[in-house]
Amino acid sequence: MKNKLIITLSFLFFLSISADENKIKQKIEQILPTGAEIESIEPSKFPGIYKVFYGDLQPIYVSNDGTYFIYGDMFEITPNQILNLTDIEISAKRKELLSELDTSKYISFPSDNQKYTVTVFTDVECGYCRKLHKEISEYNKLGISINYAAFPRSGIGSNAFTKMVGAWCSNNPQKAITSLKKGDDLNLDFCDTQPIAKHYAIGKKIGITGTPAIITSNGNLLPGYVPPEELLELLKS
């Protein structure tokens, strides 16, 4: 009898959630930008409030009848701290998107005493990307391994895109990207296996608009150049 009651209550709860999601979907679809589609609707930690994802990393928070919505951060007060639940959610989404990239297609500069690994979306024609690259050995000495993903800021087919295709297709990608970041002209190779377009597409989804853009292992985004010692402290925190 007890098991039947539990099953019945669970089924009713599921029906309630489904009904709420249908109401929300009907209302929110009316206000989404042209071309945007709802990807998922999930209960939030706040009773009666749902998270709606529609292609942006940041969700819309919506009442269970779809009448009210908030586009902003949600916080949780715990005994020890205030948590930004939205930031945590966004970081998790970034990490999920980053997992779609083949790690063997990064240009990597590993540390011999690796403590942390970061993914850096880079552009060979970006001044601060060049500054970061000049200090690769300093990051490595601090135990930080750097994995480069390509993000040609001018887009697919640009001069930077072509150069990075050549670097990734080179027999020695580390040497090629180092030379390009020095401003050297190279005889560039091309191949069908280059990941530049995929890197760029994922970077756009993650919300990258400039380079360098550093993604930590937990999905946090650090926009712009961060000096080696400062990055180490951020990774420790």
| 129 carries an active-site annotation | yes
Q: 167: Cβ–Cβ under 8 A, 6 or more apart, which residues?
A: 107, 124, 173, 176, 177, 180, 188
| 185 carries an active-site annotation | no
| 191 carries an active-site annotation | no
3-state secondary structure of 226: coil
Q: What is the DSSP letter of 52?
A: E
3-state secondary structure of 17: helix
Give the active site residue among 20, 94, 130, 153.
Answer: 153
Q: Give the CA angle between residues 175, 227, 219 to the nearest 5°.
A: 85
Give the active site residue among 20, 94, 129, 130.
Answer: 129
Give the active site residue among 123, 130, 184, 189.
Answer: 123
Asked if residue 212 has a cis previous peptide bond (ω within 30° of 0), the answer is yes
Kindly give the residue spans of alpha helices, DSSP state H, lying in the chain.
2-28, 85-98, 127-134, 136-141, 159-169, 173-181, 196-206, 228-236
* Neighbouring C-beta atoms of residue 107, cutoff 10 Å: 20
Judge contact between 121 and 106, C-beta under 8 A.
no
| 123 carries an active-site annotation | yes
Give the active site residue among 65, 126, 130, 169.
Answer: 126
DSSP annotation string for 188-220? ----TT--HHHHHHHHHHHT--SS-EEE-TTS-
What positions carry a catalytic annotation?
Answer: 123, 126, 129, 153
